[in-house]
Amino acid sequence: MSEFLRKKKIGQIFIEMGVIDDAKLDWALQKQQETNQLLGHTLLAAGYITEDDLAIALAKQFDVPYIDLKDVTVSDEAKRSVPANLLQTGEFVPLEIVNKTLTIAVSDPTNYELIDRLSTVTGYELKYVLSTQSQIRSFLGLPPLTGPPGETAPASGGEGGGEGGGEGSEPQNDDPVSDVNLEFESDGDEDGKADILKQQADQKPIILLVNKIILNAVNKRCSDIHIESWDTKIVVRYRLDGILTEQMTIAKKAGPAIISRIKIMSDLNIAERSVPQDGAFSIKLGKKTVDFRISIIPCCEGECACLRILAKENLKLDLKALGFSDIEYDRFNRAIRRPYGIILVSGPTGSGKTTTLYAALQSLNDAETKIITAEDPVEYKLSGLNQINVKINKTDPDRSLTFGKALKAMLRHDPDIILLGEIREHETADIAIKAALTGHLVFSTVHANNAIDVIGRMADMDIDRYLLAAAFIQVIAQRLVKTICKSCIEEYTPTEEDFKFADLLAPEYKEIKYYKGAGCQNCGGKGYKGRAAVYEILDIDDELRAMIAGGQSLYEIKRVGLEKGMTTIHGSTLTKIRKGETTIQELIRVCAA
C-alpha cells in the first residue's frame, strides 16, 4: 500500500497502452505485496508485458523519450567522455553531447546515483532517455542478465550495506519523488496553515521521501543533509568526507510539507515559519541508534533544513585509526595518560578536533575514572561518561548554562578527567587552568591557526602566564586531508608549480614518489576515498614552560619547539605523501591557510 499512488499510475499507463487489462493489474498488485517487487517487474516476470512495454511505460511516466538502440549511432565524443570502467556496469549507454549536455540511455530512471556520478566524472549536465536493460547490455557487448531486471536490487528498507557502501547498496526502486510531484500539482498553497501543513507532512509519499533522504544519507555515511529551497526547486545535498554533492531535486511545491515533516520528527513548531528553529531526533536502525541535530532557517525562497548526522559509527574512536604517524601517536598517547594538566586542540570547524578528543576519552574511559564533559551541544554520547549540554538562554541569561557555570558545577562532582567543548573567554579559561593545576586532566579546544598560536590565544584571555605554563601538557593543531583511493592509486610526477606551492623546492623532495587517484568506480571518479587527520603537536617541557612563563615571543617558542621535534601540519602531511596516503594537492590545500 505504501506506494499505492505510484503503482496505480504505472499500472494505469499499461492499461492505457492496452498491454494488460484490469484483471492482470489486480493480480499484479496483489502479487507484488508478497514479493516486494516493482509492479512493472512483477508483470514482466509473469510474462504479461515485454521489456519494451516496461521501458515505454517508464518513459511515459517520467516524461522522457523511449528509444530503440538498434537505430542509434553513438557520437565518438560521447563515448570518449565516459570512463571505460563505468561503461562496464552495463547501466547506461552514452548517446550524444549537445550544448554541454550528455544524453544517456538508461533502463532505470530512478538511478540517481549513476546520473550524479556521470555528471561529476564528465563535467556535463546529464539528460536521460529510456531503453531496455537487454538492449543496453547488448549494445555494450555485455552478456544478458538472467532473471528480470531489478531482481538484483536489494529490497528497500534494509540495513546499511557493507563497509563503503558501493553499487546497489541503497534502495533505489522505491522512488517516491514522482508521487510528490503528483500530490502537489494542484496544491499551490505555499503559505499553508499549520493543520494543512500537518496534513501534507503526514502524507505517505512525504514520509517515504523524507525517510529515503535520511536513510540514504546514513547508509552512505554522510555527515550532513542539506534540504534547500531554491527559486524553482528543492535541492537535497549530502556532505560526505567534507564534500557537498547534490543528491536530488524535488518539486518546489513539496518543500513546505518536507520541512514540516522534519519539524514534526524534531518536535518543532510547524506553524512557526519565520524564525530559525533548532531541534533533534533519533532513529533506530536495527541495533544502532542514529542521532540527528536539526537546524531550520527561513530563507527568501522558503525554509531550509540542515540535518547533522551523529552516527556513532561515523566516529573512528580508535586512536590509531585517526591518522597519527607512529611518533605523533606516541606523543599524544603519552600526554593523555598524564594525571593532571591541560591538553588543547585547535583547528577550523570540521577538522576533526572533537573526534580526536573523543578517541582520547574513549581510550581513558574505565570503571575507575570519572569523566565529565560540557559541550555545546553534546555531539556523541559515550557510555560511562557524564555529559552536560551547555545552553545559552538569550531571553533569560540567568537561566543560561555557560561553559564557565558547567565547569564550576562539574568540579564539585570530583571528576578525574574533564572535556570542555571550547574555551573562548576569560572565565572558562581561568577555571579550566585552575582545574588542570588541582589534579584534573583537562581537554578542550581553542580557536587558533596553529599549535603555537594556541599558547598566544590562551595568554590573550588574560590568564597568568605562570599558571598557564604550569598547566600545559601539550598543544595540538589539526587538519583533515583526503586520502587517495586505494583502488585507483597511481604514481605520477607533480608539476614544478605544485612543488613551489607545496614549499617542496629542495632537490630531496624530487626523489619522493608521488601518488594520486586516477578516479574509478570505487571513489565515484574522485580519486579520493575517506580522510585522515594530520597533526601539529608540541609537547610542553620544562624549558618551554620557562619560556612561556617568562613571556618569550611565540616566534622564539616555535623555534625551540621545532628543535625539540615538534611536528607541523606540513611535515605531518608530507609523511602521509611519502606513505602514498595523500597527494601534494592536499598538502597545498591544508597549508595554504
Q: Residues interacting with Zn ion, by CB under 5 A?
A: 485, 487-488, 517, 520, 522-523
Taking the complex as a whole, the smallest distance from the CB of residue 525 to Zn ion amounts, in Å, to 7
3-state helix, strand, coil in the chain (%, to 5): 40, 25, 35
In the complex with Zn ion, the residue whose CB is nearer, 113 or 375, is 113
Sign of CA dihedral 494, 498, 500, 504: negative
In the complex with Zn ion, the residue whose CB is nearer, 161 or 571, is 161
Cell of 155: 529490497
In the complex with Zn ion, the residue whose CB is nearer, 90 or 517, is 517
What whole-number distance in Å separates Cα of residue 184 and Cα of residue 168? 30
In the complex with Zn ion, the residue whose CB is nearer, 166 or 276, is 166
Taking the complex as a whole, the smallest distance from the CB of residue 85 to Zn ion amounts, in Å, to 9
Taking the complex as a whole, the smallest distance from the CB of residue 529 to Zn ion amounts, in Å, to 6
Tell which residue, 171, 159, 148, 167, has the closest CA to residue 39: 148
Taking the complex as a whole, the smallest distance from the CB of residue 120 to Zn ion amounts, in Å, to 13
In the complex with Zn ion, the residue whose CB is nearer, 240 or 283, is 240
Which residues have CB under 8 Å from 316's CB, separation 6+?
A: 322, 355, 359
What whole-number distance in Å separates Cα of residue 195 and Cα of residue 206? 15
Q: Is 235 helix (H, G, I), strand (E, B) or coil?
A: strand
* Residue 106 contacts residue 114 (beta carbons within 8 Å): yes
Taking the complex as a whole, the smallest distance from the CB of residue 530 to Zn ion amounts, in Å, to 11
Asked, as a colleague might, if the bond just before 149 is cis with ω within 30 of 0, I would say: no
Taking the complex as a whole, the smallest distance from the CB of residue 517 to Zn ion amounts, in Å, to 5
Residues in the chain: 593
Taking the complex as a whole, the smallest distance from the CB of residue 562 to Zn ion amounts, in Å, to 36
Sign of CA dihedral 34, 38, 39, 43: negative
Taking the complex as a whole, the smallest distance from the CB of residue 532 to Zn ion amounts, in Å, to 16
Q: Which residue is nearest to Zn ion (CB)?
A: 485
Tell which residue, 181, 248, 172, 190, has the closest CA to residue 5: 181
β-bridge partners, 535: 478
Beta-sheet strand order (sheet of 302-311): 243-251, 233-240, 224-229, 302-311, 288-299, 277-285
* Residue 388 contacts residue 415 (beta carbons within 8 Å): no
In the complex with Zn ion, the residue whose CB is nearer, 181 or 522, is 522
In the complex with Zn ion, the residue whose CB is nearer, 369 or 522, is 522
What whole-number distance in Å separates Cα of residue 100 and Cα of residue 399? 57
Which residues have CB under 8 Å from 186's CB, separation 6+?
A: none
In the complex with Zn ion, the residue whose CB is nearer, 118 or 485, is 485
Taking the complex as a whole, the smallest distance from the CB of residue 519 to Zn ion amounts, in Å, to 6
Taking the complex as a whole, the smallest distance from the CB of residue 528 to Zn ion amounts, in Å, to 8
The CA radius of gyration of the chain, in Å to the nearest whole number, is 28
Q: What is the 3-state secondary structure (H, E, C) of 229-287?
A: ECCCEEEEEEEECCEEEEEEEEEHHHHHHHHHHHHHHCCCCCCCCCCCEEEEEEEEECC
In the complex with Zn ion, the residue whose CB is nearer, 317 or 488, is 488
In the complex with Zn ion, the residue whose CB is nearer, 262 or 523, is 523
In the complex with Zn ion, the residue whose CB is nearer, 159 or 490, is 490
What whole-number distance in Å separates Cα of residue 227 and Cα of residue 218? 15
Taking the complex as a whole, the smallest distance from the CB of residue 89 to Zn ion amounts, in Å, to 14
Beta strands in 524-574 (DSSP E): 528-539
Structure letter (DSSP) for residue 462: T
